[in-house]
């Protein structure tokens, strides 16, 4: 019943399930659903016209439009389901002579819909047009291979069939393929850009009872590109099964300060939560954050020199990547921590903040490309180190399976939930495994205590929703050795 | 753009066993002081649910549309094709029931310009002296129409307001959020005033001493996170689909925790989706199911589950619209005296009154939770001391089943119930 599980059940619950009928080919006519029609080239014409009309009235204009379709297919122990969601929209943003921003958003991506939005912003017909020298339209983005629903269902089945370690102790098994396909246009008097972002996520979820409590394990991979560009892989799926089946050590877990080795999902979760809570121009409105995390500020944390964190939307295939942000700024990496020194924050152009105020922004992101803009990461990268992760194991615990992290911007206190803690001594596992633990502490201390980084990094996709619109991002991290307070989330085993 | 009427006509022409169309025509306005932004939005969301019965069973598809080129007939064809790729064992939709009668529109927003209304709310905000406040208000007005093949036709208009504020005094700040259907229910002025008081406490707060304590959760801590707060596990445990798969902690007819039916003031929880102006109220659900009030927990015993049309059909019951607003039965405890022990037998020697949380992490499978304290007041021997930091781990289902509930009721967003709860035998770590 984690968010992932809820998502799976949502797909199965609303789109129903086939049980074995579908898998055995005993369903109704095998009609291939037609793909929904998509807005065509005239969208650009409407948007350019809107920009020309608004630029005749306002000193700054930006128009963003999106045509997006989400298709999710899920398979679980009771069957298969497919759900579809379509979202088109446009946001017209202008800055008035007093410097105040006004936005008009519409879900009607039609000539009439754009016209209504222009009139609403301009307060009249706005028939005068500024001269634009945008040149020829950019080349159309690559068209990914079309997928029908049955192919998606097949892909889900393949994930399930990858697993040869399924046993009767697994009480719930599910696979999800989730495809967000968005075409985005960004036009202002100075630019005309277009991108196609096809975000693919694959998940395998396993649940088994351990005593009186369920234990869940999740394997997940996400990328931008074609559905066949990457795959979840047998190893990851079987690892999830093994993790769910693993017998936990009974008895109480003793809370205490420990040396911990964070697996890449936990390390990525930490970096993601920390950056969103502290290293954005929106977070910097809070005085505690300015004091604690501002680059060059008096309270900036002293971090090991080998720690570097970058947000890079240009990373190939990154789930959170893009070619330009939702304010039309071309993608470029932003270094947040360089050699242990905080040196940057993520900013949007309109809201201000250290880089946004007169700067170039670059991380203005709108939920679903149409919501209210806010600074947010794209693809965070914690730079890898020189160690094989086995070399990082010593005395202490390996924390695996991130269950979510929170960082309080006011105090810098971190809480990271982890599915398992494996004990090791002398670099070797003792066999003791504890379910549901939390790593807590002050963020500066947790990062300051880092004594080693693994050389192999893993990228974790994140898709959550704000006001019903999706936010996509990803984080990539290696194994991280640090020190912090580990405690049981469950009071009794 | 395809309209609901076109969809209905296309569904009528196609042989579709059962269908529901819901259309949400929404207007939004956002006024954001921090960003110097005024935003307006107009959007229409159409949901089409199709059930297609075939000899092998029933296929279901759900399509969410906000704008669509092409024809309504294409959309219906696609929905039917989707349904036929996912056929499950047969079930029958129940006949439609009367929509719940519930008020959801702030009369002041019925015909108002929403951007002006949002700006007016910001303009009227009472900002505490000595504190800097930046706030944002989002106002939504939506017209909803739900129509089904079984003859259901329901229409209503609703409003919703979401407010966020950052209040700063000196080097400290607090973030607030409130949701309501009426501007008068936002309670932002009172929330800002309380935050200003708490900021002063925070300035003097010290670290807590670990150890046993009684825990009082005041309203802001109890409802941390804008929704149901610590009561959320009861909504999760009432998911009928999970209960059927044996993945919930308790089943109907059983006490929600050992001894929960034998405590002095056994817990009672109801779901009421027909509560006027509550944020999760509606006349009918997304699947055309009438919203009904039902009990989840009665005298400590699980008595009901949220039933979607599919789950209701499987159980031979009427759907109830699922878990909506939670109504918690108040108790008799007087929260004005938080140091008062529950009984003379209590070994507790101090009471921690939690005013605000930094974070609340709940495992919905089990109800196990970690509460990170942002601000608390320690009551011991008649003295009061503000604290910041510290953690309490609780089995929320068991703890709330035994908790003393205040006699004072509050109403906030989707919650109606005691203003505070007192949990004996907690451990601060």
**Cβ separation of B82 and A116 shorter than 8 Å?**
no
Q: What is the pLDDT along chain B (429 residues), one digit of tens a residue?
A: 778 888 888 998 888 899 999 999 999 999 999 989 999 999 988 889 999 898 888 888 888 886 655 688 888 988 888 888 777 788 888 888 889 999 999 999 999 999 999 999 999 999 999 999 999 999 999 999 999 998 999 999 999 999 999 999 988 999 999 999 999 999 999 999 999 999 999 989 999 999 999 999 999 999 998 789 999 999 999 988 888 877 788 889 999 999 999 998 999 999 999 999 999 999 998 888 889 999 999 999 999 999 988 889 888 888 999 999 999 999 999 877 765 555 545 555 799 999 999 989 888 778 888 899 999 999 988 889 999 988 898 999 999 999 999 999 999 999 999 999 999 989 888
DSSP tag of A408: -
Q: Which residues of B touch A282 (CB under 8 A)?
A: 34
Asked if the Cβ–Cβ distance from B87 to A21 is below 8 Å, we say yes
Residues 64 to 93 of B: which have CB under 8 A from any A CB?
64-70, 74-75, 77-78, 81-89
User: Is the CB of B237 inside 8 Å of chain A's CB atoms?
Assistant: no
The more confident residue out of A82 and B407 is B407
Give pLDDT tens digits for A164-176: 888 888 887 889 9
User: What is the distance between the alpha carbons of residues A117 and A106, in angstroms, rounded to a whole number?
Assistant: 7
Q: Which residues of B touch A32 (CB under 8 A)?
A: 81
Pairwise CA distance, residues B222 & B109, whole Å? 30
DSSP A156-179: HHHHHHT-S---TTEEEEEEEEEE
Does residue A106 surpass a pLDDT of 70? yes
Helical H segments across A279-348, by residue range: 287-293
Kindly identify which residue of chain B lies nearest to residue A408, measuring between CA atoms: B358
A301/A370 Cα distance (integer angstroms): 35
> How would you class A42 by CB atoms within 10 Å of its CB: exposed for 0-12, middle for 13-18, buried for 19 or more?
exposed
Comparing alpha-carbon positions, the chain A residue that sits nearest to B90 is A18
Residue of chain A minimizing CA distance to B25: A107
Residues contacting residue B127 through CB under 8 Å, at least 6 positions apart: B133, B192
Chain A closest-CA separation from residue B332 CA (Å): 29
What's residue A181's pLDDT? 94
Backbone angles phi, psi at A406, to 5 degrees: -135, 145
CA atoms of A388 and A409, how far apart (whole Å) = 33
**B171 in contact with A, Cβ within 8 Å:** yes
> Minimal CA–CA distance to A375: which of A396, A398, A354?
A354
Under an 8 A CB cutoff, do A89 and B43 touch?
yes
Q: What are the pLDDT digits (tens) for B8-44?
A: 889 988 888 999 999 999 999 999 999 899 999 999 8
Cβ contacts (< 8 Å) between A366 and chain B: which residues? none
Residues 117-146 of B with CB under 8 A from A: 134
Q: Which runs of consecutive H residues, i.e. helices, occur in B251-323?
A: 309-315
Of B42, B66, B134, nearest to A88 by CB-CB distance is B66
Report the C-alpha gap between A438 and A418 in whole angstroms: 6
| Residue B371 sits at the chain A interface (C-beta within 8 Å) | no
Q: Is B17 on the interface with A (CB under 8 A)?
A: no
pLDDT of residue A29: 35
Give dist(CA A287, CA B216) in Å, integer.
29
Single out the residue of A457, A458, A448 nearest to residue A337, CA to CA.
A448
Give every CB contact of residue B336 below 8 A, 6+ residues apart in sequence.
none
How far apart are alpha carbons B136 and A302 in whole angstroms?
A: 35
pLDDT in tens, A383-407: 999 999 888 888 899 999 998 898 9
* pLDDT tier for residue A161 given thresholds of 50, 70 and 90: confident
Which residue does chain A place closest to B357, by CA atoms?
A408
What is the least distance, in Å, from the CA of B199 to any CA of chain A? 11
**Residues B250 and B302 sit within 8 Å (Cβ to Cβ):** yes
The Cα–Cα gap between A151 and A143 comes to 18
Residue A51 has pLDDT above 50, yes or no: yes
Give the per-residue pLDDT at A423. Answer: 92
Which of B70, B81, B358 is closest, CB to CB, to A31? B81
Asked if B368 lies within 8 A of A436 by C-beta distance, the reply is yes
Q: What is the pLDDT of residues A1-22, one digit of tens each?
A: 443 444 554 544 433 333 222 2
Of B131, B117, B129, the residue nearest B163 (C-alpha)? B117
> What is the crossing angle of helices B4-13 and B72-84, to 10°?
60
Question: Do the beta carbons of residue B139 and residue B116 sit within 8 Å?
Answer: no
Q: Angle A407-A469-B67 (CA atoms, 0-180°, nearest 5)?
A: 175
Predicted local confidence at residue A57, as pLDDT: 94
Of B174, B247, B389, the CB nearest to A172: B247
B chain contacts of residue A21, beta-carbon cutoff 8 Å: 56-57, 87
User: Least CB-CB distance to A149: which of B85, B89, B394?
Assistant: B85
How many beta-carbon contacts under 8 Å exist across A and B?
256
DSSP characters over B118-175: HHHHHHH--PPTT-EEEEEEEEEEEEEEEEETTS-EEEEEEEEEEEEEEEEETTEEEE
Q: Under a CB-based contact definition with an 8 Å cutoff, are residues A389 and A477 in contact?
A: no
Alpha carbon A275 to its chain's center: 13
Give me the residue from A28, A86, A109 closest to B84, CB to CB. Answer: A28
Closest approach of chain B CAs to the CA of A77, in angstroms?
10
Chain A residues closer than 8 Å to B308 by CB: 13
Counting every residue written for chain A, the total comes to 493
Q: What is the C-alpha to C-alpha distance for residues A234 and A231, in angstroms, rounded to an integer?
A: 9
Chain A contact present for B35, CB below 8 A: yes
DSSP codes joined into one string, A16-29 = ---HHHHHTT-SS-
Q: Which two tokens stand for residue A121?
A: 């912003």
Q: How many angstroms separate the CA of residue A385 from the nearest CA in chain B?
A: 31
Distances (CA, A) of A277 to A135, A383, B353: 41, 20, 27
Average pLDDT over residues A300-310: 88
Contact (Cβ atoms closer than 8 angstroms) between residue B94 and residue B319: yes
Helices A42-55 and A111-122 pack at an angle, to 10 degrees, of 10
Is A37's CB within 8 Å of B69's CB?
A: yes
Quick one: pLDDT at residue A250?
81
Whole-number pLDDT of residue A238: 92
- Pick from B66, B89, B172: CB nearest A288: B172
Q: What is the mean pLDDT of residues A422-427?
A: 90
The predicted-structure confidence for A172-201, as pLDDT tens digits, reads as follows 788 999 999 999 999 999 999 999 999 999
A288/B173 Cβ within 8 A: yes
Question: Is residue A308 within 8 Å of A383, Cβ to Cβ?
Answer: yes
Minimum Cα–Cα distance from A468: chain B residue: B45
CA dist B214 → A222, B202, B341 (Å): 45, 21, 8
Reduced to 3 states, what is the DSSP secondary structure of residue A454? strand
ipTM of the complex: 0.86
Q: Please give the structure tokens belonging to residue B8.
A: 């209905």
Nearest chain A CA: its distance from B28 CA (Å): 9
From the number of C-beta atoms within 10 Å of its C-beta (0-12, 13-18, 19+), residue B185 rates as: middle
Place of tokens 């029933």: B58
What digits encode the pLDDT tens for the residues A213-252?
A: 778 888 999 999 988 889 888 999 999 999 988 888 887 7
**Spatial CA neighbour of B142 closest among B163, B159, B154:** B159
Nearest to A132 by CA among A40, A41, A62: A62
């Amino acid at each position: 019943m984690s968010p992932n599980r809820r998502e799976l059940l949502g797909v199965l619950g609303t789109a129903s399930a086939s049980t074995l009928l579908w898998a055995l080919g005993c369903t109704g006519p095998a009609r291939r659903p037609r793909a929904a029609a998509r807005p065509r080239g005239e969208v650009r014409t409407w948007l350019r016209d809107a920009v020309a009309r608004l630029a005749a009235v306002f000193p700054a204009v930006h128009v963003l439009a999106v045509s997006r379709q989400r298709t999710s297919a899920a398979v679980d122990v009771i069957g298969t389901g497919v759900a579809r969601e379509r979202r088109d929209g446009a946001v017209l943003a202008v800055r008035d002579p007093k410097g105040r921003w006004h936005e008009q958003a519409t879900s009607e991506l039609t000539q009439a819909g754009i016209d209504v939005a222009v009139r609403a912003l301009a307060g009249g017909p706005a028939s005068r047009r500024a001269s634009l020298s945008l040149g020829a339209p950019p080349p159309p983005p690559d068209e990914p291979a079309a997928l029908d629903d049955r192919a998606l269902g097949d892909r889900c089945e393949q994930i399930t069939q990858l697993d040869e370690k399924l046993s009767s102790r697994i009480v719930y098994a599910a696979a999800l393929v989730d495809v967000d396909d968005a075409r985005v246009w960004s036009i202002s008097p100075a630019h005309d850009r277009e991108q196609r972002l096809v975000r693919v996520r694959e998940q395998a979820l396993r649940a088994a009872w351990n005593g009186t409590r369920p234990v869940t394990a999740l394997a997940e991979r996400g990328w931008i590109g074609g559905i066949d560009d990457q795959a979840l892989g047998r190893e990851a799926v079987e690892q999830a099964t093994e993790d769910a089946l693993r017998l936990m050590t009974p008895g109480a877990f003793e809370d205490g300060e420990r040396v911990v080795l964070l697996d890449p999902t936990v390390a990525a979760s930490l970096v993601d939560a920390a950056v969103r809570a502290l290293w954005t121009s929106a977070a910097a409105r809070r005085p505690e954050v300015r004091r604690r995390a501002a680059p060059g500020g008096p309270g900036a944390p002293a971090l090991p020199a080998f720690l570097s964190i970058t947000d890079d939307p240009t990373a190939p295939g990154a789930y959170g990547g893009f070619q330009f942000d939702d304010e039309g700024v071309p993608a470029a990496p932003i270094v947040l921590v360089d050699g242990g020194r905080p040196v940057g924050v993520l900013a949007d152009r309109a809201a201000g903040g250290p880089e946004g105020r007169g700067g170039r922004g670059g991380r203005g992101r709108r939920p679903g490309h149409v919501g209210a803009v806010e600074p947010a990461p794209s693809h965070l990268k914690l730079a890898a180190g020189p160690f094989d992760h086995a070399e990082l194991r010593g005395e202490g615990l390996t924390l695996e399976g991130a269950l979510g992290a929170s960082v309080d911007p006011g105090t810098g206190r971190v809480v990271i939930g982890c599915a398992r803690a494996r004990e090791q001594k002398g670099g070797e596992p003792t066999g003791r495994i504890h379910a549901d633990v939390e790593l807590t502490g002050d963020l500066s201390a947790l990062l300051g205590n880092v004594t080693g980084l693994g050389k192999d990094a893993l990228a974790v996709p994140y898709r959550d929703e704000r006001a019903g619109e999706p936010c996509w991002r990803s984080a990539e991290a290696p194994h991280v050795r640090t020190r912090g307070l580990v405690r049981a989330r469950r009071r009794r085993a | 753009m395809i309209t609901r009427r076109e969809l209905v006509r296309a569904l009528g022409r196609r042989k579709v066993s059962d269908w529901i169309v819901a259309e949400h025509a929404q207007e939004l306005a956002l006024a954001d002081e921090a960003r110097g932004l005024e935003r307006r939005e107009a959007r229409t969301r159409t949901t089409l649910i199709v059930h297609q019965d075939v000899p092998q069973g029933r296929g279901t598809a759900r399509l969410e549309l906000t704008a669509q080129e092409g024809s309504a007939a294409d959309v219906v064809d696609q929905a039917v094709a989707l349904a036929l790729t996912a056929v499950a064992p047969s079930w029958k939709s129940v006949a439609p029931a009367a929509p719940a009668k519930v008020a959801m529109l702030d009369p002041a927003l019925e015909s108002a310009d929403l951007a002006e209304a949002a700006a007016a709310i910001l303009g009227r905000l009472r900002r505490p002296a000595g504190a800097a406040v930046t706030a944002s208000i989002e106002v939504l007005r939506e017209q909803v129409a739900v129509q089904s093949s079984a003859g259901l036709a329901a229409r209503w208009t609703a409003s919703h307001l979401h407010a966020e504020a950052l209040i700063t005094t000196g080097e400290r700040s607090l973030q607030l959020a409130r949701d309501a259907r009426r501007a008068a229910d936002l309670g932002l002025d009172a929330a800002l005033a309380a935050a200003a008081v708490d900021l002063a406490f925070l300035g003097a707060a010290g670290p807590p001493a670990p150890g046993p304590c009684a825990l009082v959760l005041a309203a802001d801590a109890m409802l941390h996170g804008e929704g149901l707060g610590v009561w959320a596990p009861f909504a999760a445990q009432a998911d009928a689909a999970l209960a059927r798969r044996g993945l919930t902690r308790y089943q109907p007819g059983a006490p929600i925790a050992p001894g929960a039916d034998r405590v002095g003031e056994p817990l009672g929880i109801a779901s009421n989706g027909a509560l006027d102006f509550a944020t999760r109220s509606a006349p009918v659900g997304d699947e055309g199911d009438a919203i009904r009030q039902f009990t989840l927990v009665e005298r400590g015993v699980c008595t009901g589950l949220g039933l979607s049309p599919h789950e209701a059909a499987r159980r031979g019951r009427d759907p109830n619209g699922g878990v909506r607003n939670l109504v918690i039965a108040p108790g008799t405890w007087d929260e004005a005296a938080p140091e008062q022990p529950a009984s003379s037998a209590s070994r507790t020697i101090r009471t921690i009154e939690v005013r605000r949380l930094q974070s609340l992490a709940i495992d919905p499978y089990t109800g196990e939770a970690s509460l990170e304290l942002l601000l608390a007041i320690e009551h011991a021997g008649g003295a009061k001391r503000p604290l910041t930091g510290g953690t309490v781990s609780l089995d929320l289902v068991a703890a709330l089943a035994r908790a003393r509930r205040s006699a004072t009721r509050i109403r906030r967003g989707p919650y109606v119930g005691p203003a505070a709860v007192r949990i004996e035998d907690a451990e601060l770590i």
